[in-house]
Each structure stands twice: as structure tokens, then as C-alpha cells.
């Protein structure tokens, strides 16, 4: 892939490279465990090493790359235990974000959340109960909830530090799920609590929602492990 770089400021080039690499890593176009070669990547992208190095540093900072001495940078490989630990961290933090969103949300915030769920409801895979795929950023229900909390420290933790790892484990473990319809209903209940400015209920519902998702994935992993053991 080659980026159209004519007349693009250096900072914008680094931003675009970072976003493109995040998408490639999260969605598996650059597989987990892959070694990152700066010269090869710079050549394939058609950019200089400067903005690429800045993008790679940001990928390291958000946990998508791991750099080791004499080895170089590799794409992180998420284990089932990593998934569980990330989910355990998300549960209280996103619960807090929901409570704050209920307390501080504006009418515009609420309208945007409702519109987002309407978009999700029209998804063919969701209607069939096959999966509940959400695109990143403002098209992601959890991301939008956190943005509504108005607490910049919490937004930084959940939308910068953890967000891309969360999306990566969703792709690896949670894309197809028998919980698709139920997860959507749980999202609707959370927004209802936020609309009512019931922070205590909103926090409880979000924590239960994340815990249920984690339990579902753990059960599926256990079934897969038992199936492999019996083959």
C-alpha cells in the first residue's frame, strides 16, 4: 500500500501512518507476532523513516507493538489471559464512565447515542444474530459512552491507552457471538439509564454487560480447549 503524501504536513503523515497501521494490526492484516521492519515498511508505504518511527513509537505506547533489545519490534500477541485481564480492567473503568455520562451527558450526547444504536440495529449480521461488529471511534458504542463522561483522564485511559488492545481482542475472540441480540439489548438498557440520569444503574448495567461478554468468551475458549483435547 502507498499513501498519497504530496503536500501533506509531516505530522499528518505520521498520524495517517499510525491509523493505517493500527487498523492493519487490529484486523490482522499485519498478523500478531509479526516482526516490523522499518526499511521494508517505509518502502511499502512510500514514506521516509521519520514519520514511520513516530508512528511506531505511538504503537508501542498503546501496546500494539513490543520492542526488545537485539530483536526489534513485533506485533503483540494477545493470549486468552491478556483478554481476561483487559476485560477486568475495563469493567470498573467503563462502569465509572457510564455513571459520569449519566450525570454529565447533554441532550445532544443522548441523541447521538440513540442514532448510533439505530445504525447498529440495521446491521444485517446483528439482525441475524450472528455478530455485533462495531467500527472504531465514534461508531463504537463503548467509545461514545466514554466520550460522554466528560472526564479527560478517564477518556485518555479508555480511548487511548486501552482502546486499540480492546478492539484487537474483539477481533480475535468476540466478533461472532450468540450474544449479539442480547448485547444490543444491554446497550439499549444502558442508554435508557443514561437518559434517566441514573448513574448508579448505568454503572451497574455496563459492568454486568462487560462481565457477561467476558464470561461468554471464556466459556467458548473452554469448549474449544475441551474439543481439542478430545481429538
DSSP result, 28-59:
TSS-TTPEE-HHHHHHHHT--HHHHHHHHHHH
Identify the CATH number of the domain defined by range 80-229: 1.20.120.530
Residues 6+ apart with CB under 8 A from 144: 112, 113, 116, 138
The pLDDT, as a whole number, for residue 5 is 42
CATH architecture of 10-75: Orthogonal Bundle (1.10)
What are the sequence ranges of the domains in the chain?
10-75, 80-229
CA distance 173 to 144: 22
CA pair distance 50, 57, nearest whole angstrom: 11
- 21 exposure class (CB count in 10 Å sphere: 0-12, 13-18, 19+): buried
CB 51 within 8 A of CB 5: no
| pLDDT reported for residue 162 | 87
Burial class (CB in 10 A: 0-12, 13-18, 19+), 170: buried
pLDDT digits (tens), the chain, 231 positions: 444 444 445 468 888 889 889 888 988 888 889 998 888 888 888 888 888 889 999 999 888 999 888 778 899 988 888 888 989 999 999 999 999 999 999 999 999 999 988 887 666 645 554 444 555 555 688 999 999 999 999 999 998 888 888 888 877 765 556 677 788 889 999 999 999 999 999 999 999 999 998 888 888 777 777 877 777
Q: What pLDDT score was predicted for residue 2?
A: 40
Burial class (CB in 10 A: 0-12, 13-18, 19+), 20: middle
In sequence order, the 6+-apart residues with CB closer than 8 A to the CB of 170 are none
Amino acid at each position: 500500500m502507498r499513501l498519497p503524501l504530496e503536500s501533506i504536513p509531516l505530522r499528518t503523515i505520521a498520524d495517517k501512518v499510525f491509523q493505517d497501521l493500527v487498523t492493519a494490526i487490529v484486523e490482522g492484516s499485519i498478523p500478531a507476532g509479526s516482526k516490523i521492519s522499518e526499511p521494508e515498511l517505509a518502502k511499502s508505504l512510500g514514506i521516509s523513516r521519520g514519520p514511520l518511527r513516530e508512528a511506531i513509537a505511538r504503537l508501542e505506547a498503546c501496546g500494539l507493538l513490543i520492542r526488545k533489545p537485539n530483536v526489534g519490534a513485533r506485533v503483540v500477541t494477545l493470549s486468552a489471559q491478556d483478554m481476561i485481564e483487559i476485560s477486568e480492567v475495563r469493567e470498573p473503568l467503563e462502569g465509572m464512565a457510564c455513571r459520569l455520562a449519566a450525570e454529565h451527558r447533554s441532550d445532544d450526547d443522548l441523541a447521538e447515542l440513540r442514532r448510533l444504536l439505530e445504525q447498529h440495529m440495521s446491521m444485517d449480521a446483528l439482525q441475524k444474530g450472528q455478530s455485533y461488529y462495531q467500527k472504531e471511534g465514534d461508531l463504537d458504542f463503548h467509545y461514545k459512552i466514554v466520550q460522554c463522561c466528560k472526564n479527560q483522564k478517564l477518556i485518555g485511559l479508555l480511548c487511548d491507552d486501552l482502546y486499540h488492545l480492546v478492539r484487537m481482542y474483539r477481533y480475535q475472540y468476540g466478533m461472532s457471538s450468540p450474544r449479539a441480540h442480547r448485547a444490543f439489548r444491554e446497550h439499549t438498557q444502558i442508554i435508557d439509564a443514561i437518559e434517566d440520569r441514573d448513574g448508579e444503574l448505568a454503572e451497574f448495567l455496563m459492568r454486568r454487560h462487560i462481565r457477561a461478554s467476558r464470561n461468554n468468551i471464556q466459556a467458548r475458549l473452554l469448549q474449544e480447549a475441551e474439543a481439542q483435547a478430545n481429538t
